[in-house]
Chains A and B, each alone.
Chain A
């Protein structure tokens, strides 16, 4: 960006020199446009591999006035190198770490065993929003990941034709499912933001490492513990970033400049990679990683023992809330 400004300043300065020459008919100096001709080399040297050599075109598409962007292959390198590598490392790395964790720590059990008594944790609308978010994200992530590694991994296996078909469908799915994703993201945010505001209790949770590493350690937590809050904010902020950049990329003709597209595309790729890693961890802990956790989103209610171990404060809160009306209702029956 700075370079771009620099170059435009440089061009402006160049223009200024020539303007002075033209705008002064009183000077008898010869204006020799042939001798003054702008040189490609001179412009490229000034740009130092970045920025844009641009001019004027008569067609309305002003982007086409950009003649040469020597920096664009740099974007290609960034995309092919850093972003691809990051995506692969983030996803494979997370999977590796989780495998390792599973091997060491094993499945986190409900230590006090299942009581069989369930308490409601997420109502139907919450679960709908979550699963809409989850389902769309998974398709988005996979179809997105396909764009990064598909040509290296899948194309050799299934061949160009099928890969093309698959990816075209993937792009369609990506474009269409982005909308339910964004809707769900908004719902989830509205439903749970109150419970995800970090507070002092989270310090204790952090101190104890979430209790994940050691058996028997159960730091107190409200509806969401700090780990879940992290995931929430990662999803909300990452999702928002993906949504914004995604919309920008979805409507290229109406929005922004090519330089912005490049930036958005890189942000989209990096955030997607990181968020995918987070979500993989989230899926792990919600399924195989922890006994009883899946029920929260599966059935909408959790075993009271699981809840007491992981969300003691929330259980207290729920029980307190429930006992009051129940008491009132029960009294006349006695």
Chain B
């Protein structure tokens, strides 16, 4: 089984935000929820790099480890998903997540968090694949159709890679060898415990 991962090649990322709006478009994510975002480090300085970030679908995901209701589960593809039926919007996953992935609609009582929403790697949730119920809660299930996450598919410069971790690591490695530089597979060390060695 493939182990799905994201890899953002910051030497290609130009902060065009296609990944952000592709995600909004595909899943009709409401205003205020950003399953994916682009962060620019050292903005305006030589050395500036932009990185597109969403849930990295970590190995031994910290969110899952702290969830008081154990609403997280990891699919055979290595995708970390969660059940909105079980989620209580406590926010612990946000505290634990190194990438700021969990998002909460601010509609609860006292303006607290609603049920957590995050990147599903375009693979829905616990409901039946491609069902109405799944769409309503989690958005489209592209993986079930044999498609990869739309953010990566639509990335303007092909900076954001999605797919089997070994394959995208190879693509990245090859790029670094070809061009002679690489600022790193951002988030990999934190999410998967190892980076892409070149």
Q: How far is the CA of A76 from the CA of B62 in the complex (A)?
A: 6
Which residues on A sit within 8 Å (CB–CB) of B113?
Answer: 252
A38 contacts B190, C-beta separation under 8 Å = no
Tell me whether B47 and A18 are in contact (CB under 8 A). yes
**Interface majority SS (helix, strand, loop, mixed), chain B:** loop
Asked if B147 is an interface residue, CB under 8 A from chain A, the answer is no
Question: With the chains together, A150 CA to B71 CA distance in Å?
Answer: 13
Q: Which of B82-90, B136-144, B167-175 forms part of the interface with chain A? A: B82-90
A40 on interface, CB distance cutoff 8 Å: yes
CB distance from B98 to the nearest CB of A (A): 4
User: Which residues of chain A in 118-169 are interfacial with respect to chain B, using CB atoms and an 8 Å cutoff?
Assistant: 146-148, 150-151, 155, 160-161, 163-164, 167-168
Contact in complex: A73, B62 (CB < 8 Å): yes
Interface hub of B41, B47, B91, B190 (most chain A Cβ within 10 A): B47
CA distance A32 to B68 in the complex (A): 49
Could you tell me if B98 and A73 are in contact, using CB atoms closer than 8 angstroms? Answer: yes
What's the Cα separation between A254 and B94 when bound, in Å?
Answer: 16
A39-B183, A73-B96 are contacts. A251–B110 as well, Cβ < 8 Å? yes
What is the CA–CA distance of A189 and B165 in the complex, to the nearest angstrom? Answer: 58
Instruction: Identify the stretch in B48-56, B116-124, B148-156 within 8 Å (CB) of chain A at 4 or more residues.
Output: B48-56
Chain B residue contacts of A151, Cβ below 8 A? 67-70
Could you tell me the dominant secondary structure of chain A's interface residues?
Answer: helix
Measured CB to CB, the closest approach of chain A to B44, in angstroms, equals 8
Q: Are B40 and A55 in contact (CB under 8 A)?
A: yes
Once A34-B11, A57-B37, A80-B65 are accepted as A-B contacts, the answer to whether A69 and B183 lie under 8 Å apart by CB is no
> Does B184 make an interface contact (CB < 8 A)?
yes
Nearest opposing residue in chain A for B67, CB measure: A151
Interface status of B80 (Cβ within 8 A of chain A): no
One of A31, A68, A249 near B46 (C-beta < 8 A): A31
Supposing A39-B183, A160-B86 touch, asked if A19 and B95 sit within 8 A by C-beta, the answer is no
Closest to A15 in B: B45
Sampled A-B contacts (29; CB under 8 Å): A15-B45, A32-B46, A34-B181, A38-B49, A40-B10, A40-B185, A40-B189, A54-B39, A55-B43, A61-B34, A66-B39, A68-B98, A68-B99, A68-B187, A69-B97, A71-B98, A72-B98, A73-B62, A75-B95, A150-B68, A163-B86, A164-B88, A175-B108, A176-B109, A252-B104, A252-B113, A254-B111, A258-B94, A258-B95
> Interface of A with B (CB < 8 Å)?
11, 14-15, 18-19, 21-22, 31-41, 43-44, 53-59, 61, 63-73, 75-76, 79-80, 146-148, 150-151, 155, 160-161, 163-164, 167-168, 170-172, 175-176, 249-254, 258, 261-262, 265
